[in-house]
Structure 1
Amino acid sequence: MTAIHHNTPDLFALSDIHGPVLRPDDEGYADEVTGFNLAARHTPDVVVGATGTDDVVAAMRWAAATGTPVTVQATGHGANFPVDNGLLISTARMTDVRIDPAEGTATVAAGAKWRQVLDAAAPHGCAALTGTSTDIGVIGYTLGGGLPCLGRTYGYAADRVRSFQVVTPDGILRETDASHEPDLFWALRGGKGNVGVVTSVTFELLPLTRLVGGGIYCAGEDAEPLLRAWADWTPTVPAQMCTAFSLLRLPPLPTIPEPLRGRFWSRVAVAWTGDPDEGERLLAPLREAAPVVFDTVTEMDYTDVDQIYTEPENPLPARESCALLRELTPDAVSAFLAQAGPAAPAEYPLLLVGLRHMGGQLSRPAAVEDAICARDANYLLETVGVLAVAEAAALIETATATLHAAMAPYGTGRTMVNIHGRPGDERDRARAWTPEVYARLRRTKATYDPANLLRHGHTVTPVAAA
């Protein structure tokens, strides 16, 4: 193999890896580095397509010996930050899923998606705490805490983790749980990819096969009565009711199904785990708030959970952001609608502007302490913009910043790391945690990654304890 440009160290040291080891000029490189979010175009000096734990260990030992920065990617849904140097480890080939029905657990390899977990667990009468799409990778989602579709009912996905297998930047494979290297275990549940490359996770499953889910869709012009009804209604519902209000401005693309395509919608997405008849009674005030154009809320198998939020199925270039809110007062609703509601310009650049109801089990402390810092929020503001044209980035950033400024008086000042969006400077990245948790995360990183090899994406800088 010839030498790598950009002064990358000789790759002969990676010859023991079973998967492909590719540089920018090699065939297959572009496919290997491209993730779901096309907004981040990765150009690392070398990419390793890991086929198993041994490949990750070898890659990390090489990185440690050469001082090469490391990035990890499974599906690339969270690829908000382009990588332009160093080593990228792709775990997409590591898709093993093992269900233990007796223990009620799943052990999942680094590149597996939630769809694979649901399909493996369903024959055993079990489900997992997936997010709004089952196409997302299990590991990255869980490392960021994991905000489930049923979060109010069951808490964060990270709350149910039993153990991790992780390769730390010194190239050592470690097993960690609440009793073994507890600081490492703490940081891996909500601290994102700051302390190591996870090769597998074991977590508890739910004895759940059915739920009531779907969406109540009204015209976007009816957003105000629907949102005000939802804001008044959410504090009254039990924890089994998980909902989100969204404004959807959908382009006329053939990949978007009819009748959603090319229209402006206000929607309440619903996931309810209680008695179906009780759920229908609870939803009545929302259905009466504004004319319903169509209603997809129905009893379904849990494996059909993607029908609730109808996330995009194909890769696209997107920018996302979020902010945690303490309250949703009438003034907060007015501020939200003034920025993103029906009176916004016709060319408003945000595809989705949403408010997720938090609280319930999401507000309760974890049985084992973790790094999640969203338990004091009652709502989550989230936005998505698609970079359809060259000018879109600036328009999306302006609209997002203006909306966040308007909602700041009602916020906690923090974000969730998985939906934070493109990380900025250190002060911006720190908003995903409280000052105390951020300081502890930096100290833990100094223990496991003192050279800051894991420095791309939403990472923190290591600092030794005083």
Structure 2
Amino acid sequence: MSARAVSVRSMMLTNEAKGYDDARLGYQRLDPHRPEVIFEVTSAAEIEEAVRYAVDHDHRIAVQGSGHGLTQGIEKGVLIATRRFNGVRVDAAAKTAWVEAGATWQDVMIATAPYGLAPLSGSSPGVGAVAYTLGGGMGLMARKFGYAADHVHRIDVVTADGVSRKAEADPDLFWALRGGGGNFGVVTGMEIALFDVPTLYGGSLYFDLAQHPTAVEAWRDWTQSVPDEVTSGVTMIPFPDIPQVPEPLRGKYIAQIQVAVLAGPELIEPLRRIGQPVLDTVGDLPYVESGKIFAEPDNPDSYRSHNALLSDLDPQALRSLPKSAIVAIRHLGGALACEVDNAVGHRDASYSLIVLAPGRKDVDRRVFEPWQASTVGRFLNFSYENLTAAEIAEAYDDFPRLLALRNRYDANRRLAPNHEITALQ
């Protein structure tokens, strides 16, 4: 047996092997992967070997780190599980970090915190940093600094032919990877910019909508004038009346207003004037603890969601939102609107609307009908569902270029990303 064959076999897990289920299951459990073979990789070289194995055996390839963004698992094929390949190397002088394929934002923040530096991470620390960034990355400081994809300096990637490449040496590939998702190769690592943000002022104000029915509209009005140093959102949650829910929230329809402020605390005073919240977690936070702002659950879950990018929030449409679903809105604009030469689309959007359906197969899309006139596109990092080719195309400003590049780098459709760029029917 060759040295390469020994190396490949040492990484492989088949469906009869101990640890197979643990390796294939990520955060999203609604439609998990059921591959023929799993490669639990710990290096870029092992990723290259796994891709070559898939090429040699004519298998499709899925990649999974944390598994937060999974839309539809592969049947058979090869799954490259990157969670053990999670190193982070910080260059404090250059204010950069090299992030390996499976690192989560928590891994990155722990590595950068001793230097007083912060990445452009998202609301959930458990999300994989690389996949998040490939999809654009709309984070806690997005209005101040833009998308995470806007601040990537270098990318190492194994393309679908099993060849390792420096993406920045190929302008087309580098452009597509920053916002185009996992359609163009298996990224083994990337260099990202860091920012001088050791702490921020942030957290959530939880309002009982039975007592403060205009809280969401008040947040919307407040966003019209806040500076770019403020990034915020609001989530409407129908909390069940069960013991597992904390007493202040139990059985209530809640508006959770999330704020991340890189300036003075006085900027959120208009929100405090809405009334007395049932819970207030806003205060000074070390950036490494920024996951407390949204306080999203970290246990594996099953859900679908549908997303739209909006030019405005119509007050009448806001009042039509169903109380039976979890609805999340994020304020965009600021640096997110700055033009950058990458694949991220619809930078003119002012808000993102997400409807989440836990444990259900589909989101009721009738919820989005009142928003049709203001819809400008969608953001795929917030779309946890199986979309058509046309719906995926709606996420981009230059879909024809992305499709042409997909045909160049993966003509045989070896890769099976969460949102696959394919020809329109």
TM-score bin (small chain): over 0.9
Partner residue, 1:187: 176
Alignment of 1:8-407 (within 5 A): 15-17=6-8, 20-177=11-168, 180-222=169-211, 224-251=213-240, 256-275=245-264, 279-280=265-266, 282-328=267-313, 332-340=314-322, 344=323, 348=324, 350=325, 352-366=326-340, 369-387=341-359, 392-393=360-361, 397-398=363-364, 401-407=365-371
Structure 1 residue 249: deviation in Å? 1.8
Distance 1:38 1:176, change over 3 A: same
Structure 1 residue 418: deviation in Å? 1.0
Residue 285 of structure 1 aligns to which amino acid in structure 2? P
Partner residue, 1:9: none
Give the TM-score normalised by structure 1: 0.87
The 10-residue stretch of structure 1 (27-36 or 257-266) with the greater mean CA deviation from structure 2? 257-266
Supply the distance in 2 between the matched residues of 1:163 and 1:444 (Cα, whole angstroms). Answer: 19
The 10-residue stretch of structure 1 (120-129 or 263-272) with the greater mean CA deviation from structure 2? 263-272
Q: How many residues align?
A: 423
Residue 333 of structure 1 aligns to which amino acid in structure 2? P
Distance 1:423 1:161, change over 3 A: same
Partner residue, 1:411: 375
Distance 1:313 1:117, change over 3 A: same
Name segments (4+ residues, structure 1) moved above 4 Å: 252-258
Structure 1 residue 262: deviation in Å? 4.4
Structure 1 residue 462: deviation in Å? 6.7
Supply the distance in 1 between the matched residues of 2:218 and 2:38 (Cα, whole angstroms). Answer: 50
Q: Say whether the 8 Å CA contact 1:19–1:55 is kept in structure 2.
A: no
Structure 1 residue 34: deviation in Å? 0.4
Q: Say whether the 8 Å CA contact 1:132–1:148 is kept in structure 2.
A: yes
**1:280-335 per-position Cα deviation (integer Å, ceiling 9, x unaligned):** 2x22222222442222111111111011100011111111221100011xxx2222
Supply the distance in 2 between the matched residues of 1:230 and 1:34 (Cα, whole angstroms). Answer: 37
Distance 1:48 1:300, change over 3 A: same
Supply the distance in 2 between the matched residues of 1:19 and 1:286 (Cα, whole angstroms). Answer: 56
Structure 1 residue 163: deviation in Å? 0.4
Distance 1:206 1:373, change over 3 A: same
Residue 123 of structure 1 aligns to which amino acid in structure 2? P
Structure 1 residue 336: deviation in Å? 2.6
Q: Say whether the 8 Å CA contact 1:163–1:175 is kept in structure 2.
A: yes
SS of the counterpart of 1:339?
coil
Structure 2's unaligned 5+ residue stretches are none
Q: Say whether the 8 Å CA contact 1:46–1:87 is kept in structure 2.
A: yes
Distance 1:126 1:15, change over 3 A: same
Q: Is 1:450 aligned to residue 411 of structure 2?
A: yes
Supply the distance in 2 between the matched residues of 1:406 and 1:462 (Cα, whole angstroms). Answer: 29
Distance 1:298 1:408, change over 3 A: same
Supply the distance in 2 between the matched residues of 1:263 and 1:56 (Cα, whole angstroms). Answer: 47
Supply the distance in 2 between the matched residues of 1:324 and 1:19 (Cα, whole angstroms). Answer: 45
Q: Say whether the 8 Å CA contact 2:151–2:193 is kept in structure 1.
A: yes
The 10-residue stretch of structure 1 (158-167 or 63-72) with the greater mean CA deviation from structure 2? 63-72
SS of the counterpart of 2:124?
coil
Structure 1 residue 411: deviation in Å? 1.2
Supply the distance in 2 between the matched residues of 1:28 and 1:257 (Cα, whole angstroms). Answer: 35
Q: Say whether the 8 Å CA contact 1:325–1:377 is kept in structure 2.
A: yes
Give the TM-score normalised by structure 2: 0.95
Residue 259 of structure 1 aligns to which amino acid in structure 2? P
**1:95-137 per-position Cα deviation (integer Å, ceiling 9, x unaligned):** 1110011111000110001111111101111011110011110
Question: What percentage of residue pairs aligned between the two structures are identical?
Answer: 34
SS of the counterpart of 1:61?
helix
Partner residue, 1:461: 422
Q: Say whether the 8 Å CA contact 2:118–2:287 is kept in structure 1.
A: yes
Supply the distance in 2 between the matched residues of 1:15 and 1:252 (Cα, whole angstroms). Answer: 55
**1:382-401 per-position Cα deviation (integer Å, ceiling 9, x unaligned):** 122211xxxx43xx522xx0
Q: Say whether the 8 Å CA contact 2:306–2:363 is kept in structure 1.
A: no
Q: Say whether the 8 Å CA contact 1:18–1:55 is kept in structure 2.
A: no
Q: Say whether the 8 Å CA contact 2:305–2:363 is kept in structure 1.
A: no
Supply the distance in 2 between the matched residues of 1:110 and 1:256 (Cα, whole angstroms). Answer: 35
Q: Say whether the 8 Å CA contact 2:248–2:278 is kept in structure 1.
A: no
Supply the distance in 2 between the matched residues of 1:427 and 1:14 (Cα, whole angstroms). Answer: 41
Distance 1:236 1:145, change over 3 A: same
Q: Say whether the 8 Å CA contact 1:225–1:290 is kept in structure 2.
A: no
Distance 1:13 1:411, change over 3 A: same
Structure 1 residue 259: deviation in Å? 3.3
The 10-residue stretch of structure 1 (111-120 or 17-26) with the greater mean CA deviation from structure 2? 17-26
